Each structure stands twice: as C-alpha cells, then as structure tokens.
Amino acid sequence: MREVGLKKLAYKFSPAVAHPVIRRVERSDIASRLAGGAFWSLVGRVVSRGFLLVSLILAARILGQEEYGRVGIVRSTIGTFMIFASFSMSITTTKFIAQYRNTSKSHISGIVFWSLLVVVVAGSLVTLALIGLSPFIASQFINDLSISPMLKLAACILFLVALEGVLQGVLAGYESFGKIALANTVSGITGLVGIILLAQLLGGLGVILGLLLRMAVQVMALGALVFRELRVQGIRPAPIHKRESFKMLFSFGLPAFLGGIVPSIAFWASAVLLTREAGYEQMAIFDAANQFRAGILTLHSAAGMILLPVFSNMFEKEKSRYERVIGKVLTINIVLAGMIFAGIAALSPFLMGLFGEKYALSWHVLVFIALTAALGIGCDILKKVLASQGRMWVNFFTGLIMALILMGTARLCVRYGAFGLSISYTTASTVLLCMLLYYTRTSVKYKTGN
C-alpha cells in the first residue's frame, strides 16, 4: 500500500483471518492504489463530515425548528449555485492530471493554470450575482425577504467552494489523498467550534458565518498542500498550451458543468416548493434527514475519489483489465450500499431524534432518504466509469431526465410534506440508476471489445 504506515496499521488493527486478503492487496498495484487512496480519503471525510453533522445537530437544537428550516433553504440555495461557481473544474482537473501525470508535465502546468483562472473568474461573477439577486430570490422564490441577509453572507462561500474544488482535484489527480484528509480534518475541527459558538451568538446568521469560516480554512490548507505537491512534482502553473488546454477542459468540463447544473436546480426548486407549500418546519425535517444522505454520499465520494484517476489511467493504458476492475468495484459497493441502507433504516427514529423530539416523529422520511443515498452510491460509480471514457454528455442527458422526474413527482408529492419529497428523491434516483446501468454496460463492452 502506497501511503507510509498504512500497511502496518492494516496488519495491526485487523484480525488474523484478514491478513491473507491484505497480502493479496499488496501484490496488486491497482488494489493497493484503490485501498490506500480510499483509506486516507475516507479518514479525512469521516472527520470533516462527522464534525459538520454534529455541529448542525447542535445548531438545530440551539435555533429551533423554524430557524433551522431557514438555514436549510439557504444551504440548499447555495448548493445550487455552487455548480455555476465551480464550472465542474474539480472532476475535469482530476481526470486530466491523472491522464498526463506520467507523460507530459507541460500539459499539467497549463491545465492547473487555466483551471484556476476559470474558477476565479466564474466564482467571482457568481458570488457577486447572488449577492445582488438575494433580495429578489428571497422575496419571489422563497416568499421571505427577511432571509436575504443570510443569502448574501452565504454567497461568499461560493467563491471559496470554486477554489476548493480545483485544489482538491489537483491532489486527487496525483492520488495524494493523505493530504486531502489532512485539510479536511483541520477544516472540520474549525467548523465544529465556529458553527456552535456563532449559532449561540447570532442565530441562523451565525451558522452561515461558521460554514464560511470552515470553507476558508479548507481552502487555505489545500492551497498550501497543492503548491507543495506541485513543487515536488516539478510543476509550475503557467499560461501554456492555451488552445489545447481549453479544448480539453471544455470538451470534458462543459458537459460535466451542464450535467451538474440541471440536477442542482431540480434539488433546489423542489426544496423551494416544499418550503412554499408546507413551511419551514417541513423543510427543517427534510434538511435534517438529508444531512444523512449528504453524509453517506460525501463519505462514499471520499472513498471513491480514487476511482476516477485509477479508471482514467487504466482506460488509457490497461483496457484489458478495465472491465474486470469495474465489475469488482461495483459489486463491493452494491453490498456496502445495502448494508448502509439497512443500518440507517433500523436506526432512523434514533437518528432523527438527535435533532429534537419533533424530528423523531418523522423517522419514515429518513428511511426513504437512506434508500436514495444507497441508490446514489451506485449512480456515482457508474458516472465515474463514463467520465473515465470522456462520455460526459451521457451523464448530462441522464441527469436531465432524472431532474425532470424529480420535479414532476415533487409537484404531486409535496402536499405530503417532507415525506412526499423524500419519495420523489427515491423515484428519480431509481430511474437514474437504471439508465446509467444500461449506458455503462453498453459503453464498457464496446470500448474494451468484449
């Protein structure tokens, strides 16, 4: 296993019966890369997301259900605009650094420079636009002008998220997941302390300010680690290969960007619809349940962050092993997703009760949200397979169909509050998984000639 000390940890803390499996992983370069990258990435995200979840649970108890619902709709709004600010440069940077790291340092110099330039410009424009549009969004969409100051403050998070995506994408491309784990841990601890203290002092506005502080620390930590990594690799970002770099970034990044926009808008629009039709209390219940979905997908994304660079690298050099590795990864994650769903469904009354007594009564919302998360794990892996082949337009069109189904079912189901919206999420995710399975199976068979 590639990270220092990981092999010793594996042997020390695993039962003897697992040692033959560990030795098999060591002998396989692909398995070792997957295991090492997944371990360190998962450690960082568990700490970061765990601290965030604890801080939001405590914030919900401090604020009360209605005020926490206001925070929830603000966070949902910011989540929608994030894709505009980042322009999907994170996944694009990861893809091409992984592809060229062994063959062309000059290409990487250009990719890093132009990626950073794109997100600085896009992030700045989207941040300023949301600050200016906050009163309009608050009054016309959310029907609550008093939420405008929270939206303006939250808009500042967008610029930081855009930078964070590219910086993390650079480290992921080099498979430096231990460094990502370090940055996530530092920002997670900062966010825990900041969100709780500021929620007590400033209410909902304080929670948003705490989230802003958390992201600022994340960007500073990642920035220092990225430029150290580039120095080690002998890479200096420079405005070279302009035409070729932009062609690569936008031929891959544009469909990735569009594929992110459509579902994000659908998620936000469904949350707004729930708020308008059922009120902040139902939004608070849905946001509480959705924290577990976000946590599951974030942790899976952390463990699965290694998949895109490995798949991309294999697709470029080892097509004969490509299909076999994908099958094994998919099988493992299907089993994992089933276990996660069963565990959360069984504990749903307790987990929802962490936010407060009123939340516990809506445990059934979490059951459907957990099922949506389990389906999302499968969707994420299949999207990475298609991304490794550069088939981002497939991801866009399947995401578009999913978004249309989500909005159509949400219009029918939000009359049942948070529970109705959770059913809409599950329905849309089921259709998306079926489409991705079909396209991935067809694509892998064609690309490998099997």
Each residue's pLDDT tens digit, 39-58: 766 777 778 778 888 999 99
Q: What is the CA angle 89-330-268, rounded to 5?
A: 45
How confident is the model over 110-142, as pLDDT tens digits? Answer: 888 888 888 899 889 989 999 999 999 998 888
Averaged pLDDT for residues 281-292: 92
Residue 87's nearest CA partner among 152, 169, 153 is 169
pLDDT value of residue 312: 67
pLDDT value of residue 282: 94
Alpha carbon separation from 221 to 160, 183, 234, 337, 388 (Å, rounded): 12, 5, 20, 31, 28
Classify residue 407 as exposed, middle or buried by CB count within 10 Å of its CB (0-12, 13-18, 19+): middle
How confident is the model over 437-446, as pLDDT tens digits? Answer: 888 877 665 4
Number of neighbours of residue 23 by Cβ within 10 angstroms? 12
* Cα Rg of the chain (Å, integer): 21
Please count the residues of the chain: 450
Side-chain half-sphere CA neighbours of 114 within 13 A:
23
pLDDT tier at 17, thresholds 50, 70, 90 = very low
What end-to-end distance do the CA atoms of the chain give, in Å? 31
Alpha carbon separation from 235 to 103, 113, 308, 334 (Å, rounded): 13, 11, 22, 39
**Low-confidence winner among 3-17, 84-98, 415-429 (lowest mean pLDDT):** 3-17
Averaged pLDDT for residues 80-92: 76
pLDDT value of residue 174: 81
Instruction: Tell me which of 393 and 427 has the higher pLDDT.
Output: 427
Is the separation of the CB atoms in 42 and 34 below 8 Å?
no
Number of neighbours of residue 405 by Cβ within 10 angstroms? 18
